[in-house]
Chains A and B, each alone.
Chain A
Amino acid sequence: MSGAALESRADFELIARFIREGEQVLDLGCGNGALLGHLIATRGAGGYGVEIDPDKVLASIERGIDVIQGDLETGLSGFRDAAFDRVILSLTLQAMHRIEPLLAEMLRVGREAIVSFPNFGYWRHRAQIALAGHMPVSPELPYQWYDTPNVHLCTLRDFETFCAHHAYRIIDRHVLTRGRSVRWLPNLLGSIAVYRVQRGTDSR
């Protein structure tokens, strides 16, 4: 999936902090299994990765991860309701075609969804459009407009509006730029956002 080229991704440590000892997790678009491997090693987590790319499935098997080859676009029908503590979608949201059913499925099979994505509203992305006049290309969005797998880029504000609209509750949000936490003007200064989302009305 998009962004998976980075072996140890910026959001891994952050996601790991959200996982409690021994939790059951489902990592959607698990790539080479690095995140799930990290969660198993550092949190004693259990669970599965789901990945569509055959070479990444192979890499996950090599790593000893339990990986299910499958297409997230066709849903999570292989998983039961509330089977997982957390369902992770790490830097994959922006490459999905059908966002609404996927988020609904994540919150069906898991108590909580952890979603990270590159912030299209990051000032460097905005500047490339506003000043240089071309589609953003950055470490977070390392593609040209014509070869990008990213079909649903969004900003922090877009995602929060989406959650409010669907009555999803945002439990927590962390915004990063180059591995550093961003607190001030996150939708402008943050390049990657990690959200914890649960069912229910946003009370913030």
Chain B
Amino acid sequence: MSERIDTARSVGCVTPQEVAFPEPLRLAGGSELAAYTLCFETYGTLNAARSNAVLVCHALSGSHHVAGWYADDPDDVGWWDNLVGPGKPLDTERFFVVGVNNLGGCHGSTGPATIRPETGRPWGAAFPVVTVEDWVRAQARLADHLGIDAWAAVIGGSLGGMQALQWALDRPERVRHAIVLAAAPKLTAQNIAFNDVARQAILTDPDFHGGDFYAHGVHPVRGLRIARMLGHITYLSVDQMAEKFGRARRAGDLSYSFDVEFEIESYLRYQGDKFAASFDANTYLLMTKALDYFDPAHAYGDNLGAACARARARFLVVSFTTDWRFDPSRSREIVRALVENGKRVSYAEIDCPYGHDSFLIAHPHYHRVLAAYLGNIRP
């Protein structure tokens, strides 16, 4: 996702940190996690008033590694490095930026691949389904740990944007600004359908072993690969795919076989392979489920306006014209619910060709909007 790093405006070499929370965490599903660890990174300096902290929430496949690179792997550049850094829209000379790996993740926070102390084996299928509300509760303890009473802003795109919204609803006193990008107030049937096909690909892979594949020394790479290929299609726009790949073929003549022929096939397979080699299949299941369950209006009689009444943050909501996964009308639902309550909100609809993934792209107008909004936040 990230382009080559702009070294002059990079946060530089970074080191992930871990913090263990020994207190049990009650989950929306009814179960309890006895203890958990969150893996996080920080960039910039927390000011004396502890008022300049910005939480970056990641989407389905993201991690705490938002910006910078690692000493032992300089090519591993953070997934939002184009946004976060000195002089960048989320300016680390003004803000103390925190990236955190979600609970259930596979980049260092407690998740299905973590060794469970009670059994000495990975959690696997026993890891509970976690929701966006659970993440907010888990992350609130990280804020406590860092001595941050209120975030100057919580920002995220897609599933990360949903977290930013949930933060503003669940901890109104702890969020001054919520920046909700390429998100939706809940998934449509079509969204859930895509997620379920992805899950089915994983669940039916013979190497899945009911989620306990770790013990068998295998990983359901075929299922995860197909899940990612499907997901990837939904992140790109029709026009962008047409322009980038069209019907271009790798070789001149038709082969009349099922080998890789079209460039788009080659691209998707490459993306699928790359992802399946580095991501945990159980985490993929959990993340898609968290998306499916996200619906803050549900507890308020399906009235999003009623759900938003408790928010105290100022909001920036941004959508992208070519995003068909969460199209602009979904963002306008959020805006409408906030306006109904007289909440402070700005809404920008960015004309950007890159589909759902647009929120990750350094599109000039989009970044100017973020820079303008963030620039007005007093640390």
Q: Contact between B342 and A61 (Cβ–Cβ < 8 Å)?
A: no
A55-70, CB < 8 A from B: 57-58, 60-62, 64-70
Contact of B348 among A69, A78, A83 (CB under 8 A): A69
Interface residues of A in 6-50 (CB under 8 A from B): 24, 46, 48
- The answer to whether B339 and A79 have CB atoms under 8 Å apart is yes
Q: A58-B372, A61-B369, A64-B376 are in contact. Are A69 and B340 (CB under 8 A)?
A: no
- Neighbouring A residues of B345 by C-beta, 8 Å: 48, 66, 68
B336 at interface by CB-CB < 8 Å: yes
Give every chain B residue within 8 A of A83 (Cβ-Cβ): 339-340, 342
| Chain A interface helix/strand/loop/mixed | mixed
B346 proximity list for chain A (CB < 8 A): 57, 60-61, 65-68
Question: Do residues A80 and B365 form an inter-chain contact, with CB atoms below 8 A?
Answer: no
Contacts of A79 in B (CB 8 A): 339
Residues of A within 8 A of B351 (CB): 54
Q: CA–CA, A132 to B161, complex, Å?
A: 59
Query: Is the beta-carbon distance between A69 and B372 smaller than 8 angstroms?
Result: no
Partner of A62, one of B336, B339, B344, B372: B372
Given A54-B351, A68-B335, A69-B347, answer yes or no on A62-B342 (Cβ-Cβ < 8 Å). no
- A interface residues, how many (CB within 8 angstroms): 20
B369 x A48 contact (CB < 8 A):
no
Complex CA gap A80/B348 in Å reads: 20
Q: How far is the CA of A64 from the CA of B372 in the complex (A)?
A: 8
Q: Which residue of B lies closest to A50 (CB)?
A: B347
A24 to B373 alpha-carbon distance, docked (Å): 22
Would you call A69 and B342 a contact (CB within 8 A)? no
Are the C-beta atoms of A78 and B336 separated by less than 8 Å?
yes
Whether A58 contacts B376 by the Cβ 8 Å rule is no
- Contact residues of B between 323 and 339, Cβ < 8 Å to A: 332, 335-336, 339
Interface CB pairs A-B, < 8 A, 5: A57-B369, A62-B375, A66-B314, A69-B349, A78-B335
| Contact partners of B336 in chain A: CB under 8 A | 78
A48 lies within 8 A of B339 (CB): yes
Does B368 make an interface contact (CB < 8 A)? yes
Complex: how many Å from CA A67 to CA B372?
Answer: 13
B 22-53 contacts with A by CB, 8 A: none
The answer, among A46, A57, A58, A67, for a CB contact under 8 Å with B342, is A46
Q: A57-B348, A70-B347 are in contact. List 15 more A-B contacts (CB 8 A).
A: A24-B342, A48-B339, A58-B369, A60-B346, A61-B376, A62-B376, A66-B314, A66-B344, A67-B346, A68-B335, A69-B347, A69-B349, A70-B332, A70-B349, A80-B340
A65–B351 Cα distance when bound, in Å, is: 21
Across the interface, name the chain B residue whose C-beta is closest to A59.
Answer: B372
CA distance A116 to B187 in the complex (A): 42
Query: Which residues 359-379 of B have a CB within 8 angstroms of A?
Result: 365, 368-369, 372-373, 375-376
**A-chain residues with CB within 8 Å of residue B340 when the two chains form the complex:** 80, 83
Do A61 and B373 touch (CB < 8 A)?
A: yes
Q: What's the minimum C-beta distance from A76 to chain B, rounded to whole angstroms? A: 10
Which A residues are CB-close (under 8 A) to B373? 61
